[in-house]
Structure 1
Amino acid sequence: MRPYVLGVTGASAQPLAERALQLLLNRGRTVHLVLSRGAHEVFRAEQGLRIPVDPLTQQMFWREHLGVTHGELICHRWNDQSACIASGSFRSKAMVIVPCSMGTVGRINAGLASDLIERSADVHLKEGRPLLIVPREMPFSLIHLRNLTALAEAGASIAAPIPAWYTQPKSLDEMVTFMVVRIFDGLEEDLAPLDRWTGPLL
């Protein structure tokens, strides 16, 4: 199977990115991971995690932190626009940006590529490959909505991380897993068992 590109920006929902990476690797998938500069800051501010910038050191960090030995993980610096995923000739299954800040949404919509995440997103759009954006903002301004609409019109899928209560979650951890699994449903990737809606109990 072709690899996934996983972009993580500086929006406040890093546990979604961690769970997505963990579940993808546990499924034996290949993941090219890019943390924006802002994502490093949010990890440190909200979770006390200092993520190594060096790609090889970062790979070892994630393996240990998430407790995963499966799959293949390739980490990239946020400003390395010579990376393989910056080229249209590099073939991937899809790119997922989780969480995606509104600044990143706006720059992708404008066709800017100030870092590797934005460049890779631009590549996925121009090559007609799946690009799934998980925006983390509330409420959305009209500017946010117009940018998201424009990206949807350009071929991206928008999957806001909205929880559900019909699964009767017992913890925040269960809710995070639910949202991540639902996000990847859009790519026909069954990441983990899920209590799906089957209709009201009689």
Structure 2
Amino acid sequence: MGKYIVGITGASGSIYGIRLIEELLRSSNEVHVIVTDSGKKVMEYETEYDMDGVLRKIEEHKDRIKIHNIDNLFAATASGSFKTDGMIIMPCSMSTLGEIANGVSKNLLGRSADVCLKERRKLIVVPRETPFGTIHLRNMLSLSEAGAVILPAMPGFYHKPQSLNDAIDFVVGKVLDALDIENNLFKKWGHDEY
């Protein structure tokens, strides 16, 4: 169906990115994944997965996923001629957010985000930090003004989550909604259930 880039950085909450990858693949999309070195460390610390474990978890979809080396600036995602339906950085550290907001492309993740902005493709940034400092807020404003969607990892509670997975799915569902991808990860407000 679609072609998406998913970035995972060293911010807390790599499980969000893992769940997003699963849902994008489940919806028959092609997914290109870029994980920072810190993102790999945090993933191993916070979850039961390393990147090999993530790949085993999604084994049935391996023909539609490509893991890119963070330092490979010759990867397809670094070029505007590589057409995608959008990029999601989930979770996004304040360091990565600051680099992108200021046009710094030190690695493939930053370059791919820069390509999305310059080509006017959807870029969704999911910051995972609290509280936000003034510099963080300025950088988010700069990205928003450049066309990015700032979608903080803030689970809602009107759907009455029963588990941590429900709270995670709420945020992933909000990202999918922003991409116009149908999903049932949480009950939408205004439905008869409320």
Q: TM-score range by the shorter chain?
A: over 0.9
4+ aligned runs moved over 6 Å, structure 1: 199-202
Say whether 1:127 aligns with 2:123: no
Q: Paired residue for 2:150?
A: 158
Q: List gaps (5 residues or longer) in structure 1.
A: 52-57
TM-score by length of 1: 0.89
- Mark the runs of 5 or more structure 2 residues left unpaired by the alignment: none
Q: Give the stretch that moved more between structures: 187-196 or 174-183.
A: 187-196
Q: Give the Cα separation in 2 of the matches to 1:180 and 1:23.
A: 8
Q: Deviations over 1:51-77 (max 9, x none)?
A: 3xxxxxx4xx43422464377101101
Residues 155-201 of structure 1 show CA distances to partners (whole Å, capped at 9, x for unaligned) of: 11100111111111110011111110112211111233531111797
Contact 1:24 1:71 in 2 (8 A): no
Secondary structure of the residue that 2:61 maps to in structure 1?
coil
**What's the secondary structure of 1:79's corresponding residue?**
coil
Deviations 1:123-163 (A, max 9, x none): 00111111110001000000000000001001111001111
Paired position in structure 2 for 1:4? 4
- Is the alpha carbon distance of 1:63 and 1:37 closer, same or farther for their aligned partners in structure 2, counting shifts above 3 Å? closer
Residue 94 of structure 1 aligns with an amino acid whose one-letter code is G
Pairwise CA RMSD of aligned residues?
1.9
How far apart, in 2, do the equivalents of 1:113 and 1:103 lie? 12
Maintained 8 Å contact 1:17/1:99: yes
Letter in 2 for 1:151: L
- In structure 2, do the counterparts of structure 1 residues 71 and 172 end up closer, same or farther at CA, with 3 Å as the change threshold? farther
State, as a whole percentage, how many aligned pairs show the same letter.
36
CA distance in 2: counterparts of 1:31 and 1:115, whole angstroms: 19
What TM-score, normalized by structure 2, do the two folds share?
0.93
- Aligned length in residues: 194
